[in-house]
Amino acid sequence: MLPDKLTPAELERLLSAELDTAAATAPVDEPHLLRLMPGTARQALMQSMTEQTYARGDVVFHEGAPGDVAYLVWAGKALVIKGNLDSPTILGYRGPGNILGEMALLENQPRSASLIALTDLRLLQIHKDDLIRLLSDIPTLSVEIMATMSARLRAADTIRDATTQAGYRLRKQVSALKTREQELLDLQRIRQETVDLIVHDLRNPLNIIINVLELLDVTLPPEVREDNQQLIEVGRASYNRMKRLVDTLLDTSRLESDEAILNLRATDVAQLIQIAVTSMALSSVQKDVHFQIDCQAGLPTVLLDAERIERVVCNLLDNAVKYTPRGAITIAAALEGEHIKVSVNDTGPGIPPAERERIFVRFTQVEGEESRRRGFGLGLRFCYLAVRAHDGDIWVETGDGGIGSKFVFTLSVNKT
């Protein structure tokens, strides 16, 4: 409910509210009632009315209050609103000659809106009992008031028609937007299902490739195998990388739709990191970078999906190798409170603070040299989803010594 008087700040905030379009277009400048009346009726009405003055910000009457008085604006300007200061609806402005509050008076109903003085306001008011007596004594006054009521009813009808038309247009727009939204969702679902099918089918040729490599490794004569061992290792590393990409694509979709099932088991995080580093060794040598492992001794085992978290570490290492021209990449793990914190620190160009939240969104890449832009940003999206599925957090910050980037994620030791 509105206070009895609004502060200047409250009044200014109220005036900044949007004017109700339908109400604003309705005619409110009905003929001055006193000007239309015969002299005797006008004199009798004036004698029954008393003058009231209000200052700027005064609330003349409140919405929902009993309506036992009608008003005629003699001088000044008033504001008609519905609702309170938190959610006001501005119905319009009233000036000299406008009649206010007579509907509630005649219908014996509560006020349908509130009236606030926008300037120093002079009102002529008449009480219900005095109005009924005048209507009985002066028939011509009844006719004039009926004419005024008719103008008000036409105004209300205008508001109703405008509101109905606006509502109809709005419903059509909402319906069209919902249809378009559903079409886009269906298209997105079909695209995702198609991608998942294609990616899933890649597993078969991948398995054939690794089987052929393993077969060559065990069937080639020792001297031939020794001469070609590096080629076999390159093939294995490429297979492992391709398999990670395929699994990441499929897992990202499952994790986003909450369809992934975690295969939880007690895992030694330090050992998991060592396995991930070993699998990434060939790519680091090719880029002239090397890994440094700094794991705190005696870390507790953690209940987690080891295959997915290992893939998280590999993706972060691969990302670090991609953006590190040469030198060291440090991967560390330490117990902090009830979490193990794992970090991967590179010595690349770093990530601007404004981009650090966005990089975990699908298909996001940090703006930079085109030659350094590779992939579609799905690796970090998978990392985010996999860590969050383990109730952990993941973020990126400036690297140690203000150089490069440090990706950090946490795993709860309570899941043991």
pLDDT of residue 372: 47
The pTM of the full predicted model, rounded to 2 decimals, is 0.49
**Residue-level pLDDT at 39:** 65
pLDDT for 95 equals: 85
Instruction: Give the model's pLDDT for residue 411.
Output: 94
Contacts of 123 (CB under 8 A, 6+ apart): 51, 52, 53, 54, 60, 71, 72, 73, 74, 100
* Token code pair at residue 254: 């499952």
Count of residues making up the chain: 416
Choose among 280, 303, 272: nearest CA to 389. Answer: 303
Per-residue pLDDT of the chain (416 residues; tens, 9 = 90+): 788 998 888 888 887 765 554 444 444 444 445 554 556 666 776 777 888 999 999 999 998 888 888 888 888 999 988 888 887 888 888 888 777 877 666 667 788 889 999 999 999 888 888 877 777 776 666 666 666 655 555 665 565 666 667 677 778 888 888 888 887 777 766 766 666 666 666 777 777 878 878 888 778 888 888 888 878 888 887 888 788 777 777 777 778 777 778 889 999 999 999 999 988 887 776 677 889 999 999 999 999 999 999 999 999 998 898 888 888 899 999 999 899 999 999 988 888 888 887 888 766 665 554 444 444 467 888 899 999 999 999 999 998 888 889 999 999 987 54
Where do the domains of the chain lie, and which CATH numbers do they carry? 8-167 (2.60.120.10), 203-256 (no CATH), 264-412 (3.30.565.10)
pLDDT of residue 274: 94
* Those residues with Cβ within 8 angstroms of residue 49's Cβ, 6 or more apart along the chain or in another chain: 72, 124, 125, 126, 130
